[in-house]
Structure 1
Amino acid sequence: MGKVVLVTGAARQLGGRFVRRVQRDPEVERVIAVDAVTPPHRLGSAEFVRMDIRRSAIARVLAEHAVDTVVHLAVTGGGTGPGSTRSAVKETNVIGTMQLLGACQKSPTVRRIVVKSSTGVYGGTPRDPAVFTETTEPRSLPPGGFAKDAAEVEGYVRGFARRRPDVAVCVLRFANILGPRADSALAEYFSIPVLPTVLGYDPRLQFVHEDDVLDVLRLAAREPRPGTLNSGTFNIAGDGVLLLSQCARRLGRPTVPFLLPAVTWVGSALRAVGVTDFSPEQIRLLTHGRVVETSQMRQVLGFEPRYTTAGTFADFARSRGRGLLPPERVGRAVERVAGMLDVDVDAAEGAKR
């Protein structure tokens, strides 16, 4: 008998792609795709069950299909339907995870759980370390948004792991996911013709390619290879970092720096007109940045991403087309302004002396 894999969040782009991808695994016999709304995309030979995981009926689905592997992708920053308010998304993330884990705890067949999380659980403050490891405690817990949801979800997952030590539990903390099909808040931000930024800050950013996300999810759902272990918590990101200013140049999009209070106002205005989800959590990322260590991903999980951070962003940029200005022109303009600022600073220092 092959594996019976249940995938939550199947109506989202990433969930649908994983459902189709995991069906090609020779170890997998059946795939059960679950979501509260009907997916707009094909799911291959998977059996789709329309169900809200906030309901206790998810236990019946596990039992009826004798599910042994659960891949929980329904922890997201936004919903898939027109009525997906922030409160509804939070309920799905947190209450839905609680219901799913409760059902898994009672299931005699479940042997492996993979949970999609985010490096956002580390928060974002000016006092953060240069690089986060999986054991780094955040200086302050995320105050709200998707990052707070992910932190709460991870707490429930740790509790489940203590109660069911016989179940292999793998938590994957993904850096910002980008790629040609990416539908994340950061992808929306980078699609704005002119990018609002925080005056005086040029944050370091890390990305993971959506194709690498599918590959590592598939790896985590399998039995571990010799010398590897696919249970525990792992940071997942491409090698290297990019500054926000470098991203803007490569997109050919000019930036407009605002003081931090003004950026918050601009974010509210953009959300109001539906341009992008420029949330306070997003503003913290674009102020302080975030970089994580990925040695455990390679040494313990045994995963090597195909794309670096720069390669991921390049693939994303190609899919968005040229910006308002050629990248080389944006680069020259930024360098010219930086030179002018250096001259002004030197003149001010000379006047003081």
Structure 2
Amino acid sequence: MVTSSPSVVVVTGVSRYLGARVAARLAADPRIDRVVGLDPHDPPASLRDLLDGVEHIRADARAATEAIAELGAEAVVHLAVTSVPDAQHGRAAMKEQNVIGTMQVLAAAQGAPGLRKLVVRSSTAAYGASFRDPAVFTEDTEPRAVPRGPFARDILDIEGYVRGFRRRRPGVAATVLRFAPMISSTAETSLTRYFAQPVVPTVLGRDARLQFVHVEDALEVVHRSVIEDHPGTFNVAGAGVLMLSQAVRRAGRVALPLPESALSTGASLLRNLGVEQIGLDQIDLFVHGRVVDTSRLIAEFGFTPRTTAAAFEEFIQAHAAGSTLTVDRLAAAEQAILDGIRKVRAAADAVPDSVPVGSDRS
């Protein structure tokens, strides 16, 4: 269903990679008169030129109600959702931005009388990760277990608030886009950094099925959600799957299998190789994998994203010459792992055996 494009669009999260590119793309569309970026932070230097045609209002979600109402927004695109905690402010700040921020943006959208469209970034993490998962998730599949990871829990909260918004404003075309992990030659996410490293920690005994979506395809879907009416919830991913072991081999990296319980510790021990800490969301993905059906997206939008394999191939071609594994770096990694194992064993040996209540043991 195609309708007239909104004249005023507000985009949240324009100081980040995805938000900046969505705002720039919308600003270049002659069917849209005005694009306003709402973000408490100034965009980094690498994004400023991209945002020449975008008005920027430095305001956090608390100020969104007044800003969106005053601007006369006809469409709100909420992209200010982060998948990893900030290194400086931690999990509390992540939840403040994701959950509380979304509540405030939706409250602002509810109070905007001229609003016609709402587009919200979500994630396939909404399905969680469990040994009871189906082979393929559809948009109607409910999580089989409460997710362990903070990002997945935030996504469930966000989508719950959007359902409440739909009940209160049934006349607004509300679109929820569940993106698979994004990848491209230029995107920088926790997952692209993971595969760009010379040594890639994996889960011992597991070989998860993975799906990706190319950033350009994600941008196209968001753009169509704004200029057309596509209410509903949609999986956004490239067709096909890559096994984790395949992805590591194609990237020319060396897999380092670790027990699931030790993966986070093992990743932190490899910081001298540039491998960042891996959170519960990533660990669960690498244990159970996740594959989604995109037939609803293709039928509704008339658009087919490039395949998972094609998106990943572009990424590895761009990183083919980077992060070379040397003998010295591999030796340093091995030594770091051994040191970590010794520390864990020493800590375990220092804990006395528990004594049952009522025992005569002295």
TM-score (ref. length: structure 1) = 0.85
Matches within 5 A, 1:1-16: 3-16=7-20
- 1:17-59 C-alpha deviation (Å, 9 max, x unpaired): 1111111222200000011110012212111001111x1x211
Residue 253 of structure 2 aligns with an amino acid whose one-letter code is R
1:276 aligns with 2:301: no
Deviation at 1:301, TM superposition (A): 2.9
Report if the CA contact (8 A) 2:196-2:319 is conserved. Answer: yes
Deviation at 1:275, TM superposition (A): 3.7
Residue 139 of structure 2 aligns with an amino acid whose one-letter code is E
Residue 317 of structure 1 aligns with an amino acid whose one-letter code is I
Residues 271 and 293 (structure 1), Cα distance of their counterparts in 2 relative to 1, 3 Å cut:
farther
Report if the CA contact (8 A) 2:6-2:74 is conserved. Answer: no
How far apart are the structure 2 equivalents of 1:311 and 1:265?
32
Give 1:170's aligned residue: 175
Deviation at 1:266, TM superposition (A): 1.4
Residue 320 of structure 1 aligns with an amino acid whose one-letter code is H
- 1:156-182 C-alpha deviation (Å, 9 max, x unpaired): 000000110011100000001001122
Give 2:237's aligned residue: 237
Percent identity of equivalent pairs: 49
How far apart are the structure 2 equivalents of 1:233 and 1:24?
26
Determine helix, strand or coil for the equivalent of 1:234.
strand
Give 2:248's aligned residue: 248
Give 1:312's aligned residue: 311
1:126 aligns with 2:131: yes
Deviation at 1:141, TM superposition (A): 2.2
How far apart are the structure 1 equivalents of 2:317 and 2:301?
31
Matches within 5 A, 1:170-249: 170-224=175-229, 230-249=230-249
Report if the CA contact (8 A) 1:267-1:279 is conserved. Answer: no
- 1:116-161 C-alpha deviation (Å, 9 max, x unpaired): 1000010111111100000001101212311111111000000000
1:136 aligns with 2:141: yes
How far apart are the structure 2 equivalents of 1:321 and 1:267?
22
How far apart are the structure 2 equivalents of 1:82 and 1:126?
31
- 1:314-349 C-alpha deviation (Å, 9 max, x unpaired): 011112124647xxxxxxxxxxxxxxxxxxxxxxxx
How far apart are the structure 2 equivalents of 1:23 and 1:174?
23
Give 2:112's aligned residue: 107
Give 1:264's aligned residue: 264
1:63 aligns with 2:63: no
Report if the CA contact (8 A) 1:32-1:46 is conserved. Answer: yes
Report if the CA contact (8 A) 2:264-2:277 is conserved. Answer: no
Report if the CA contact (8 A) 2:149-2:279 is conserved. Answer: no
Deviation at 1:277, TM superposition (A): 4.0
Q: Given the alignment, which residue of 71, 77, 80 partners 2:83? A: 77
Give 2:121's aligned residue: 116
Report if the CA contact (8 A) 2:199-2:275 is conserved. Answer: no
How far apart are the structure 2 equivalents of 1:272 and 1:72?
36
Q: Given the alignment, which residue of 154, 164, 185 partners 1:149? A: 154
1:32 aligns with 2:33: no
- 1:266-302 C-alpha deviation (Å, 9 max, x unpaired): 1454589974241011011011110000000011232
Backbone CA RMSD of aligned residues: 1.9
Moved more, 82-91 or 265-274: 265-274
How far apart are the structure 1 equivalents of 2:244 and 2:222?
28
Residue 315 of structure 2 aligns with an amino acid whose one-letter code is F
Moved more, 275-284 or 198-207: 275-284
Residue 199 of structure 1 aligns with an amino acid whose one-letter code is L
Determine helix, strand or coil for the equivalent of 1:33.
strand
Gaps of 5+ in 2: 326-362
Residues 86 and 271 (structure 1), Cα distance of their counterparts in 2 relative to 1, 3 Å cut:
farther
Give 2:56's aligned residue: 48
Deviation at 1:221, TM superposition (A): 0.7
How far apart are the structure 2 equivalents of 1:67 and 1:99?
15
Moved more, 260-269 or 12-21: 260-269
Report if the CA contact (8 A) 1:8-1:35 is conserved. Answer: yes
Report if the CA contact (8 A) 1:179-1:210 is conserved. Answer: yes
How far apart are the structure 1 equivalents of 2:277 and 2:59?
26
Determine helix, strand or coil for the equivalent of 2:10.
strand
TM-score (ref. length: structure 2) = 0.83
Residue 231 of structure 1 aligns with an amino acid whose one-letter code is P
Deviation at 1:63, TM superposition (A): 1.7
